[in-house]
Homo-oligomer: A and B are copies of this chain.
Amino acid sequence: MALVVQKYGGSSVASADRIRRVAERIVETKKQGHDVVVVCSAMGDTTDELLDLAEQVSPAPPAREMDMLLTSGERISNALVAMAIHSLGAEARSFTGSQAGVITTSVHGKAKIIDVTPGRLREALDEGTIVLVAGFQGVSQDSKDVTTLGRGGSDTTAVALAAALEADVCEIYTDVDGIFTADPRIVSDAQKLEQVSYEEMLEMAACGSKVLMLRCVEYARRYNVPVHVRSSYTDKHGTYVYGSMEDIPLEQAILTGVAHDRSEAKVTVVGLPDEPGYAAKVFRYVAEAEINIDMVLQNISKVETGKTDITFTLPKSDGVRAVEMLSKYQGEIGFSQVLYDDHIGKVSLVGAGMKSHPGVTATFCEALAEAGINIDLISTSEIRISVLVKDTELDDAVQVLHRAFDLGGDEVAVVHAGTGR
Contact = CB atoms under 8 A, between A and B. Distances in A.
B50 A65 contact: no
A95 B172 CA distance: 32
A66 B82 CA distance: 10
A76 interface: yes
Contacts of A50: 76
A79 interface: yes
A92 B87 CA distance: 40
Contact of A59 (B69, B87, B144): B87
A72 B69 contact: no
Interface string A18-31: 01100000000000
Contacts of A120: 144
A120 B86 CA distance: 36
A303 interface: no
Nearest to A82: B65
Given A20-B57, A58-B87, A93 B80 contact: no
Nearest to A52: B16
A412 interface: no
A399 interface: no
Interface string A58-77: 11111011101101110110
B84 A68 contact: no
B80 A64 contact: no
A59 B83 CA distance: 9
A378 interface: no
A247 B399 CA distance: 88
A80 B55 CA distance: 9
Contacts of A81: 57
B69 A75 contact: yes
Interface in A81-134: 81-84, 86-87, 92-94, 99, 120
A299 interface: no
A419 interface: no
Contact of A57 (B69, B84, B94): B84
A41 to B, nearest CB: 14
Given A65-B93, A93-B65, A94-B65, A58 B84 contact: yes
B94 A80 contact: no
Interface in A1-50: 16, 19-20, 50
Nearest to A54: B83
A69 B65 contact: no
Given A19-B57, A20-B57, A64-B93, A79 B69 contact: yes
A421 B83 CA distance: 30
A62 to B, nearest CB: 5
A57 B93 contact: no
A54 B72 contact: no
B80 A57 contact: yes
Interface of A: 16, 19-20, 50, 53-54, 56-62, 64-66, 68-69, 71-73, 75-76, 78-84, 86-87, 92-94, 99, 120, 144
20 contacts: A20-B57, A53-B76, A53-B80, A54-B83, A57-B80, A57-B81, A57-B83, A57-B84, A58-B84, A59-B87, A60-B87, A61-B86, A62-B86, A65-B83, A65-B94, A68-B75, A68-B78, A68-B94, A69-B75, A72-B76
Given A50-B76, A53-B76, A69-B76, 15 more contacts: A16-B57, A20-B57, A58-B83, A60-B86, A61-B83, A61-B87, A64-B93, A65-B86, A65-B94, A66-B79, A69-B79, A69-B80, A72-B75, A99-B144, A120-B144
The 6 closest A-B pairs by CB, nearest first: A16-B56, A69-B79, A58-B87, A58-B83, A68-B79, A72-B72
